[in-house]
Amino acid sequence: MQYLLIFLGAVLIFVTPPAGYAGEEKADRKELLMDTIVVTGEPRAPEYKTGDVDTETSTAHFSRIKKEMFEGKIISLSEVIEKESGVQIRQSGGLGSFSSVSLRGSSADQVMVFLDGILLNDASGGGVDMSNISLSDVESVEIYRGTAPVNFSKSSLGGIVNIRTLRTKEGFMGNISSGYGSFHTRKLSGFLNHKNGPWDYLLSADWLASDNDYDTLNDKGTEWNSSDDLREKRNNARTDQHNFLAKAGYDFSPNLRLDLLNQYFSKKQGLPSWDNSDLTRSSLDTDRSISTLKLRADDLGDWHLNTSAQLSYTRKEEEYDDRGGHIGLGNQHSTYTTERLGGDFFLEWLSDYQTLIFSAVFQHEKYDSEDHLGKDPSLESSRNSFSVGIQDSIFLFQDSLIITPGLRYTWLEDELEDSSSRWDNYLEGDSRRDDYLSPQMGIRYCPLDFLTFKTNLAQYVREPSFFEMFGDRGFFIGNPELKKEKGINFDLGAEMHKSRKHTWLRSLTLGLSYFRNDADDLIARVYDARGIGKSVNISGALIQGIEGRMSADIFDYFRLIVNATLQDPENRSDIKAFDGKTLPGHYEKSYLARLEARYRGFKVYAEYLREEDMYYDTANLRKAGDKDEVNAGITWNWQSWQFSLDAKNLSDDLYEDFNGYPLPGRAFYGAVKYEF
């Protein structure tokens, strides 16, 4: 009821015109708004394609990061997105190590990650490893916090990270780049684009490798006794990964296009042990291939409908080798294979007064685990899912007010075969069927051409993954009795953007948002005295907080960026020992300040990141250290060349996002790129 009252209050505030606003001034203002919000069949921006979110009219709180921010550098996707408000990253080591993303206090499983419309979260679970996404392929990254547009087949507590790969452009162009840095880090990448007439193709490839042998502090498991502490190199943390993207397309007409895509990723990765033993040879090798065939047909019929249909096939194979028992409990050598076949359909109708969207997605997913040591039987499971979404953006008062109701319907079926876990727990085969509705409502109101208010209210549901139900890796055991988690997302915020060409302050952008997420039957991981983890349902959680962001362009040479997130992820468990505690793995406070200076072909930056108050465990007995990180860099663009040098963690402090797995200290990376 409280959400309904808050939401209705927001509606009344947004619909009521500001007092004393003259009619002639309103007319002038509305003309300006209509110039920037396209809701008819008129051509959109060149980068917009059918199926993309029209961010000019979206009610969601989002941010977009373009490739100019990271192109040609040795940097990971996690490092790029963690600088946005509401985003937190947990990483288990250096470049290429496991990296998970949290939005607004969510877990990695509660953030949906899309790559060109393909959902990377699979039924096997565990959250998306962001280190398995190469930045050399990326055109832009969109982050939708909390409520997400129905363009995406699935939403969750945290929101969505949407990754767009490179798109072909007119002409012939390409680049090649290489780099080297600390800990024997090497990178080589290349890109080629050709479009002349109806045919076009695009190729992108890169290689990244690092020994990750940075200095660490080994306390020998005696935290309170510093006399035996030893500073040593990180052992068995090497990574070697390859990535290849190929696209081909054909324009039958300006409104009919066929696209074919294949994206292949391969990584061989060492897994260091908690005690940094030099005897550890554990590893995790990953191979992933995504193939899609997409047909886009626009401006169909008298209603000028825009449509797209897509078929996709994804195969991911992970080989986990811990035959020495250094990582998990006991010896283990297993291969995990996930295959997914999917079909997507998107339909869009534009009129002068509304934009109506319909989407449908079907997926068949198969998960298979094979024990090479012959201890455990193979575990085979499958999941069929079907999702339908509809969203209507209604434009009122000459587009100054946009109301966007939406609804998702999801049906799924799990087939679980008889098996047993490596802990000798019998897992009885079962068939599960479930369906649910996820309604949402968003409002966007522009009382002035430089001021926008947004509010969203949505219900979400997330079903448990196979990893959470079976836990067949490392030191996790399964819980086949898990129930789906569900909850409500609410946010309310304002954004302001003002440009002035003839003053020292060229432009100023301000944003402030309040968010609140109520979760029921939240799936969380708890650990017993032996360190064995298990996923359980806790009765609830309340996550609320404030996001603030500011960007200012000063003269023509400087830009100042400040982001801040304050959040309180409270555990409302029916387990007395955990009730009222802070959900583990989330900093309650995070800040960023970044200053950029530009002159001719030079760009220099310095940034400071701080994160405070995080606990490693559900009982809040182990508190993580606060993080202070200072980074700096310089880029020089000269003719067709780009030279860059970046210095990270200049204070050389050692932090642990995961207890026992330190991050690198001070590091330097240089790169050179040539365009043709």
The tens digit of pLDDT for each residue in 348-384 reads 999 989 999 999 999 999 988 888 887 766 678 899 9
Q: Which position has the higher pLDDT, 34 or 14?
A: 14
Inside any domain, residue 432:
no
CB proximity list for 90: less than 8 A, separation 6 or greater:
99, 100, 102, 108, 585, 657, 658
Return the closest-CA partner of residue 419 out of 384, 378, 386, 449: 378
**The pLDDT value given to residue 642:** 96
Q: Which position has the higher pLDDT, 424 or 173?
A: 173
**The pLDDT value given to residue 425:** 55
Number of other residues whose CB lies within 10 A of the CB of residue 653 = 15
12 pLDDT band (50/70/90 cuts)?
very low
What are the pLDDT digits (tens) for 45-88? 556 788 899 988 999 999 999 998 898 899 999 999 999 999 99
Count up the domains in the chain and report the number. 1
User: What is the distance between the alpha carbons of residues 429 and 419, in angstroms, rounded to a whole number?
Assistant: 7
What are the pLDDT digits (tens) for 118-153? 899 988 777 899 999 999 889 999 999 988 899 998
Q: How many CA atoms lie within 13 A of 204 on its CB side?
A: 23
Q: Which position has the higher pLDDT, 23 or 183?
A: 183
What are the pLDDT digits (tens) for 577-615? 788 899 888 899 999 999 999 999 999 999 999 999 999
User: What is the distance between the alpha carbons of residues 449 and 25, in angstroms, rounded to a whole number?
Assistant: 11
The long-range contacts involving 63-67, CB below 8 angstroms and separated by at least 24 positions, are 63/142, 63/143, 63/549, 64/140, 64/141, 64/142, 64/143, 65/140, 65/141, 65/142, 65/143, 66/139, 66/140, 67/138, 67/139, 67/140
Inside any domain, residue 428:
no
37 pLDDT band (50/70/90 cuts)?
very low
Q: Which two tokens stand for residue 247?
A: 């696209």
**The pLDDT value given to residue 23:** 37
393 pLDDT band (50/70/90 cuts)?
very high
Inside any domain, residue 7:
yes
- Local structure of 345: helix, strand or coil: strand
- Asked if pLDDT for residue 491 goes beyond 90, the answer is yes
Inside any domain, residue 427:
no
- Are 438 and 460 contacting, i.e. CB atoms less than 8 angstroms apart? yes
Please name every residue paired with 99 in a beta bridge, in sequence order, or none if there are none: 91
What are the pLDDT digits (tens) for 532-562? 677 788 888 899 999 999 999 999 999 999 9
Inside any domain, residue 231:
yes
**The pLDDT value given to residue 22:** 37
- Asked if pLDDT for residue 24 goes beyond 50, the answer is no
Inside any domain, residue 425:
no
Inside any domain, residue 90:
yes
User: What is the distance between the alpha carbons of residues 629 and 650, in angstroms, rounded to a whole number?
Assistant: 7
Q: Which position has the higher pLDDT, 9 or 331?
A: 331
Q: Where are the beta strands (DSSP E) in 301-353?
A: 305-322, 332-350
28 pLDDT band (50/70/90 cuts)?
very low
- Asked if pLDDT for residue 630 goes beyond 50, the answer is yes
Q: Which two tokens stand for residue 497?
A: 């953007």
Read off the pLDDT of each residue in 477-483 and give the average, rounded to a whole number: 79
**Top-ranked range on mean pLDDT: pick from 9-13, 100-104, 121-125, 469-473:** 100-104
DSSP string, 394-430: EEETTTTEEEEEEEEEEEEEEEE--EE-TTS-EE--E
| pLDDT over 70 percentage in the chain | 87
Q: Which position has the higher pLDDT, 35 or 373?
A: 373
Number of other residues whose CB lies within 10 A of the CB of residue 445 = 23
Inside any domain, residue 77:
yes
**The pLDDT value given to residue 6:** 44
Judged by average pLDDT, the poorest of 180-189, 216-225, 347-356 is 216-225
501 pLDDT band (50/70/90 cuts)?
confident
User: What is the distance between the alpha carbons of residues 652 and 632, in angstroms, rounded to a whole number?
Assistant: 13
**The pLDDT value given to residue 13:** 40
> What integer best gives the mean pLDDT of the chain?
86
**Domain with 499 in it:** 2-377+385-398+405-418+440-675
- Are 642 and 68 contacting, i.e. CB atoms less than 8 angstroms apart? no
CB proximity list for 585: less than 8 A, separation 6 or greater:
90, 102, 107, 614, 615, 616
Q: Which two tokens stand for residue 664?
A: 């690198």
245 pLDDT band (50/70/90 cuts)?
very high
| pLDDT over 90 percentage in the chain | 61
35 pLDDT band (50/70/90 cuts)?
very low
Question: What dihedral angle (degrees, nearest 10) is formed by the CA atoms of 47, 50, 55, 61?
Answer: -120
| Ramachandran bin of 635, using left for φ above 0, alpha for ψ from -120 to 50, beta for the remaining angles | beta
User: What is the distance between the alpha carbons of residues 630 and 284, in angstroms, rounded to a whole number?
Assistant: 31
CATH number at residue 18: 2.40.170.20
**The pLDDT value given to residue 427:** 58
What are the pLDDT digits (tens) for 308-326? 999 999 999 999 999 988 8
**The pLDDT value given to residue 244:** 96
User: What is the distance between the alpha carbons of residues 369 and 380, in angstroms, rounded to a whole number?
Assistant: 7
531 pLDDT band (50/70/90 cuts)?
low
